Amino acid sequence: MWDSSGQPLAERLYFNENPVSRVKINLSLDKKSYEKRNLTELTIETVDLDNKPLPAHLSVLVISKKQLGKIQQLRQNILSYLLLDAELKGEIENPGFYFNKDSSMHEHLDALMLTQGWRKYNYNKQEAIYTHSPETNLSVSGQVSSLFSEKRKKQAELTLTTFGNNPTVDVQVADSLGNFTFNLKDEYGQRVNVLIQSAKASGKNMNYNIALDEKASPGVHFDLKNTIVEPDSVIDDFIRKDLQRKKIEQSYEVEDESIILEELEFTGTRLTEIQQEVREEYGEPDIVIEGEAIREKEQKWSYGLYSVLQFNFLDKINIERRQNGRLRAEIIGADLTLVVIDGIPVRTHEYPMIPYIPPSEVKSFEIIECSKNFGTLFLKVYGVPSPTNIICGGVIAIFTHGEKGIYGTKKPVGLLHTTIPVFSAPREFYAPRYDKPNVMKELPDLRTLLHWEPNLLTDTSGKTSTSFFNGDNVGDMMIVVEAVSGDGSIGYEELEYVVEGQETVIVEF
């Protein structure tokens, strides 16, 4: 519908089937039927409309048709998402239904266009203003300012060094507002150590204040209307069978005279050579405060390590101010407390230096409440034997990034040491291999999801292959392959095959 000037006012949509933009996927198996736990070899070929090779990225899914087939055929897939859901407003129920190979598909699609496929033009609507740019990669960003004021330092030179699997060294000059952004290579794991050196344009290191932008995760919003829904017979049946499967697997996990343990969580830290030597000399620590935890509690007014511990870790360490005004750390419950830094005993005249160790230089702060070899340590520090009334001598072991003791803890000029979060490590889909001798063959394999391969590439001839093992479920299995080519063409294909044998009987307990 147009107005008198020829501008469109409203329209109804028509679904335009365009075979040219589709990837044809040809699937073939090495057999027509299989036995339980047989290896299945799948060959995949992707071609265009003229049957010419078309390299593509694929995903491969193999499921039990009896239990998950109906859900798969109705749920969202690559066709329904890109061709329907991304274009229409509102929720589409059973989007996969509109792309089955039924001859009446076009009639159903046209009815959907009439109910949801409408648009209205509003020429006065202003474009949205986005305050954040899309994040295309990992980055470190922030602002640089003077140490004792909020004034931004323009033209400050910053050197970034990362210490992950892909080490990075990059130099950048802050803009006129003191802002900077370093783009990083992809890293996977927990966190990566980062050093940022600030300097003048001339290259002279300067003690500028560097504040990094926080990368906060977006909030999670729940649709309360969908928390209570009518039961679905297909899903209910699947859940019931899945619970039965878990009962059977658990019954095989416990042998005669075995004891079922509660869940155990094992955690550990990779120790440096110095940390290992300290623990061998004085014993395992009772309390470990990581340097990252100390830095998180550091305030603008903090003036060293003890000032942070004094107000934030009262339950772990007692920081007292002596009559001479100096801070001293005492282990709760110990008769006397001595300190070693990077395995080097701190002498009596060096104790006043400990409170002012920069938190940025601390790797960990460890407390050994009643240490072994305390008498030997006392002799090294004071030059005389330990008094006989000291029954429980405590040791504070401080480990620094410099690993050079108390005289290596002076913070270099203009250097910021921190860690940043990176991408989570990808998890691999687990599936048993029945060609291995150590597989528990007596344990029933009742998996409904047999195989999942999210990123499989075809070669220049458009061909590739993959393989997987069947489980103990018999009957029809469904292979689902979705594809996208370099030019944006998409494809979807299903293939069914049969696993023969006697059905595993599930007994209700």
Q: What is the pLDDT of residues 360-410, one digit of tens each?
A: 889 999 999 999 999 999 999 998 999 988 999 999 999 998 888 888 876
Query: Does a structural domain hold residue 239?
Result: no
Average pLDDT, the chain: 84
Separation between Cα atoms, residue 447 and residue 59, nearest integer Å = 19
Same-domain status, 33 and 92: yes
Higher pLDDT, 190 or 477: 477
Answering whether pTM is above 0.75, one says no
- Within this chain, do residues 340 and 446 fall inside the same structural domain, yes or no? no
216 has a pLDDT exceeding 80: no
> Which residue shows structure tokens 């609507």?
125
243, part of any domain? no
Confidence at residue 415, expressed as pLDDT on a 0 to 100 scale: 74
Same structural domain for residues 71 and 172? no
Which pLDDT belongs to residue 500?
92
Burial tier of 471 (Cβ tally within 10 Å: 0-12, 13-18, 19+): buried
CA distance linking residue 418 with residue 173, whole number of Å: 20
Selected residue with higher pLDDT from 418 and 262: 418
Q: Are residues 330 and 435 in the same domain?
A: no
* Domain boundary pick from 382, 410, 438: 410
Q: In which band, very low, low, confident or very high, does the pLDDT at 70 lie, cut at 50, 70 and 90?
A: confident
For residue 201, give both structure tokens: 């344009």
Question: What counts of helices (H) and strands (E) characterise the chain?
Answer: 8, 24
Chosen domain end from 162, 192, 212: 212
- Domain-embedded: residue 489: yes
Q: Is residue 185 part of a domain?
A: yes
The domain boundary, picked from 365, 381, 410, lies at 410
For residue 425, the SS3 value is: coil
| Predicted local confidence at residue 258, as pLDDT | 52
Q: What is the pLDDT confidence band of residue 277, given thresholds at 50, 70 and 90?
A: very high
More confident of the two residues 129 and 21: 21
Number of structural domains the chain divides into: 3
Question: Average pLDDT for residues 86-101, to the nearest whole number?
Answer: 81
Are 197 and 293 found together in one domain?
no
Range of the domain at 359: 273-410
Q: Flag whether 472 is in a domain.
A: yes
- Tell me, what's the pLDDT at 509? 47
In a domain, 265, yes or no: no
Does residue 434 sit in the same domain as residue 340? no
- 217 pLDDT exceeds 90? no
Q: Are residues 277 and 400 in the same domain?
A: yes
- Judgement on whether residues 21 and 111 belong to the same structural domain of the protein: yes
Residues 279 and 384 in one domain: yes
- The CATH number linked to 289 is 2.170.130
Task: Give the tens place of pLDDT for each residue, 22-42.
Answer: 999 999 999 988 999 999 999
% of the chain with per-residue pLDDT over 70: 86
Q: According to the model, what pLDDT value does residue 480 have?
A: 96
The pLDDT score that the predictor gives to residue 48 is 92
10 Å Cβ neighbour count for 287?
A: 16
Q: Which domain CATH number covers 17?
A: 2.60.40.1930
300, two tokens = 């603008």
Q: Percent of the chain scored above 90 by pLDDT?
A: 34
Q: Does residue 268 fall inside a structural domain?
A: no
Tokens coding 130? 């986005």
Task: Tell me, yes or no, whether 397 and 489 share the same domain.
Answer: no
The answer as to whether 257 is a domain residue is no
Q: Regarding predicted confidence, which is higher, 450 or 224? A: 450
388 and 287, same structural domain? yes
Based on the domain organization, do 97 and 144 belong to the same domain? no
Distances (CA, A) of 30 to 40, 465, 469: 7, 11, 13
